[in-house]
Chain A
Amino acid sequence: MEQKTYLSIDIGSQRTRAWLFQQREGYYQLAGSATAQTTVSAGQDVRAGVRHALLQLQQTSGIQLLDTDQHLIQGLQGVAGTGITVSAGYPLRTALIGVSSDLSLASLRRLVDLFYTDVVLELDLQDELNPTAQLEKLIQSDADLYVIAGGTDGGSYQPVRAALENMRIVYQSLPRVIRPQVVYAGNSDLAEEARAELEAGPDFHLAGNIHPRLGVETLSAAWQAMLEAFAALRRQQLRGLEELEQECNATVLPTAFAMSRIVRLIDRIHSNGKGTLALDVGSSSTTVLAAHGDEFIGSINRPEISSRTGEETCRWSSLPIDVETASIYMLNKRLHPAFLPDTLEDLAIEHAWTRVRLQAALQHTQEIFPNFAYHPEQGLFAPYEPILLSGESLIRVPAAQQSLLIALDGLRPHGITTFTLDERQLMAALGALAELEPLLAVQMIDAGAFVNLGTVITAESTQHASTSLLTLEVDREEAGREKLEVRKGTLKRIETPQDQRTRIYLSPSEFTDVGMGYVGLGGWVTVPGSKVGVVIDGRGRPLELPQDAEQRSQTIYNWLWELGG
């Protein structure tokens, strides 16, 4: 191969994907992508799914990737580098050990959530002083991963030191089939003693102190150690993963972490004073990633199925359904995660459930990151632009308008923002390669890797329903100007040509806030071309849905109709 070529592989719970990027005339382009079923169940080797995907990728791209022995061709004649990401596998059973619930344990919750963990124990060393009880709790947790923090550098470390002895007994006494991993992210003064005390060899991962000084939290100081622990556990759990890493000369990353690199990169590229938000809704989990300067928020939420979820799903359905029907759909979907809606009723349930999963994920993010500024009724207050949508549940929809409306109803943003769509699911692929070839991600994003879905302007007013919220004037250049009025409780769409910018003048009433800084303040907004166009959301916050089920579903249906979906 004359051109530099990079390969990215993502092993998901259902599908294994592979993407090939090739540099042509100095610019990276997507040379092809392929999907195969993931092979992780008993007796299966993840490499079988990867091999299927690579064989398909060879066909679609026309680029030889495997030699006659089905091994990846690397170096000058093959791929220059490979990135591997994994979201398949059980959530990692995780025990958090910290010196207080408000400080170190709260920080640890924020740290581990991005690494596909399920927190099974939180040990507050200030609360639980009895060492016997501590030890029993640690043993009963049956954790795969122990993450320890506590104490600022130079500060007191006695409670953590006492807990380390118990940790050593747990690590050394229980003959686990999967060797547990330990991450130490506490007082640096105790770090080397912790390593020596635990005698865990390569299963001990030393991180920087996530609380180096009082009032300072640096979660990124522990990312590398968390990545090492994640990779060590997944290698033990997923057959063939270690061999795949060796064959590709790569180290596996959590898919969500790889995606977070792209969110942070976009945030650096778009210096508009707002943050960047990404939402990835898949069948088994919803990932929320937000970056704004040095601040980063990352969480993963697994959907629960309960009568409350069933009721909420009915509430958001565009067809009238009952709780039992919604629950049956959700439970059967859990049994058959690959199931796709093939009737209008199933599609209505799927889309309603996606809204509910989004809201649950945002609520979960708010619980662990109190500065996220999401309110379950009022929606997301923090300004983010762009908002990137990804994942099967948001991508696999019959029309782009449906993706936008689902995201809008899930998020209920305020002010003005732009939604983009990761149609080709490139976020994880680019993130996995970002360290190997930073130029690749930058060039792909510049070249429009993500599709512009639409711009949303939320118009809010305390006035009663049906009053005029604002008038707007759309300047379509050659096609002339068009005037429109938006009333409270409605949703309005303005089509914009895909390949040109459109200028819109917003004239809000004295009580309407359109996100220009003050209530009643308007002005010109220039928007890029997009799939859906500009959506003026005058429905208000909170979004009020009729009590009557028939009327409610008709209202949701009408909103979709208004967007042209």
Chain B
Amino acid sequence: MSMQTLQIGCNQQIYRSFTLPLSGTVLVRIGQEVAAGDPIAEVRMPARFQVFDVVNNFKINPRHIDRYIERLVGEPVKAGDIIAQKSGIIARIFRAPEDGMVVAIRDGKITLALGEKVVQALAAFPGTVVEIIAEQGAVVATQGALLQGVWGNGLNVSGLLTRWGEEAGTEKEDGIAGKIVVVDHCASRAQLNRYMAQQPAGIVFGSILPQVLPELERADIPTMVLVGFGELPIDPISSQMLKQMQGQTVALNATSPDPLEGTHPELILPGRAQFTEELFPTEELLKIGRRVRLLGKPYAGSVGTIIELPEQPEMFASGLVMEAVVVQREDGQVIRVPRANIVVLIE
């Protein structure tokens, strides 16, 4: 049985694909080193379209429209170029409002594709290109410390990691500006506003309460939640990892969690790249000795080690009969929980 997994650990092989939503041009090659924010692929497309109704604007007979149109479909045009004109006492002229191309002439109407906008897929962390995805992007690999979380607001940034709190002396106004700050818990919008006002580059919360979520979804600062919703402690494994990353430049890839894509928000501390040929992690099987994070009450957020996998389903306090797992928590307590209610930590 495969399980929900989160990767936490040093010397992790990290492979992430950065792709365009449309077919475009890949700008990198295999083996190329890229920095966070470098474009991996791009597509150039019209910024806007304009449809001009020649028949109605020029008040002409549709059968004679060819006499008035000066351009052909597919022809590029410059701003100010005459596209159609009707001469006479009161001449009527339609000029291209900006550079572009004629994309259609039909039923007395001319459609222009105007301007240009560039859509890019950017690397979220520094690494090496190991695979090209034709017309879409590339897979970038790095080796380093990785800490995955459970929720992100879809943005990413690189910066110095610091921890909010008295010990780190980061409560001063200039303490967290431009840095990625780690905050154990956020319980209110007022508290969130206090952090945001100090203009950090990004924020990593251990946990948050639901009332903070709408603000975070709208925030333009990359934000990630490590453990979940509610007042949950940051587990010792994640804490240890944060300690190792503290004071170093990390990449916060606060992508939205997506079970279909298998993506999680993550903090990456890139190290020296040593790659294997394997591009995707193999299925992680539930087995004795694996460390897990617990999801259900009253242990939500805490971690432990699997010590037994009972073969027979068991009845839990809710009355539901479910497949169980026996976990020894960090404090030595042994508990039985449903298999569905754990996340396997890949260290």
Contacts and interface: CB of A to CB of B under 8 A. Distances in A.
B107 A165 contact: yes
B69 to A, nearest CB: 16
Given A43-B279, A337-B259, A332 B20 contact: no
B168 interface: no
Given A165-B106, A165-B111, A169-B103, 20 more contacts: A13-B259, A41-B258, A41-B262, A89-B260, A131-B111, A132-B49, A135-B51, A142-B21, A169-B111, A173-B113, A177-B20, A177-B22, A328-B230, A331-B229, A332-B295, A341-B320, A342-B316, A343-B318, A346-B296, A399-B319
A342 B337 contact: yes
Given A41-B259, A335-B150, A342-B296, A310 B279 contact: no
A267 B111 CA distance: 51
A472 B92 CA distance: 87
A332 to B, nearest CB: 5
A48 B2 CA distance: 11
A342 B201 CA distance: 39
Interface in B309-342: 316-322, 337-338, 340-341
Contacts of B297: 343, 345-346
Contacts of B280: 42-44
Interface stretch (B40-48, B59-67, B81-89): B40-48
Contacts of A136: 48-49
Highest count of chain A CB atoms <10 Å: which of B22, B259, B322, B341: B259
Contacts of A339: 295-296, 340-341
Contacts of B126: none
Contacts of B213: 331
Interface in B198-238: 209-211, 213, 228-230
A343 B317 CA distance: 5
A136 B248 CA distance: 45
11 contacts: A41-B259, A43-B279, A169-B104, A177-B22, A177-B135, A332-B230, A332-B295, A336-B341, A341-B296, A396-B320, A398-B321
User: For this complex, into which size category does the number of interface residues on chain B fall?
Assistant: 35 or more
B277 interface: no
Contacts, number: 150
B318 A41 contact: no
Given A131-B109, A174-B22, A346-B297, A338 B228 contact: no
B261 interface: yes
Highest count of chain B CB atoms <10 Å: which of A331, A338, A342: A342
Given A42-B262, A43-B279, A37 B341 contact: no
Interface in A33-48: 37, 39-44, 48
B209 A324 contact: yes
B318 A173 contact: no
B318 A398 contact: yes
A136 B343 CA distance: 44
A162 interface: yes
Given A131-B53, A346-B318, A340 B338 contact: yes
B144 interface: no
A282 B296 CA distance: 20
B2 to A, nearest CB: 5
B191 interface: no
Contacts of A346: 296-297, 318
When A and B form their complex, which 8 residue pairs have the shortest distance between CB atoms, in order from nearest?
Answer: A398-B319, A41-B262, A43-B280, A175-B23, A327-B210, A131-B51, A347-B318, A331-B229
Interface in B1-39: 1-2, 4, 17, 19-24
Contacts of A134: 51
A90 interface: yes
A168 interface: yes
Contacts of A43: 262, 279-280
B290 to A, nearest CB: 16
Contacts of A327: 210, 229
Contact of A347 (B1, B111, B319): B319
Contacts of B320: 340-342, 347, 396-398
Contacts of A139: 49
A175 B295 contact: no
Nearest to B50: A132
A343 B296 contact: yes
A176 interface: yes
A135 B186 CA distance: 44
Contacts of A324: 209-211
Contacts of B107: 161-162, 165
Interface string B258-293: 111111000000000000000110010000000000
Interface string A1-25: 0000000000001000000000000
A421 to B, nearest CB: 16
Contacts of A89: 260
A335 B319 CA distance: 23
A199 to B, nearest CB: 12
Interface string B109-141: 101010000000000000000000001100000
Nearest to A42: B262
A341 B21 CA distance: 38
B151 interface: yes
A177 B51 contact: no
A201 to B, nearest CB: 17
Interface string A149-188: 0000000000001100110110001111100000000000
B261 A41 contact: yes
B257 interface: yes
A399 B320 CA distance: 9
Interface in A395-448: 396-399
Nearest to A38: B259
Nearest to A162: B107
A344 interface: yes
B20 A336 contact: no
Contact of A173 (B19, B103, B296, B317): B103
A37 B104 contact: no
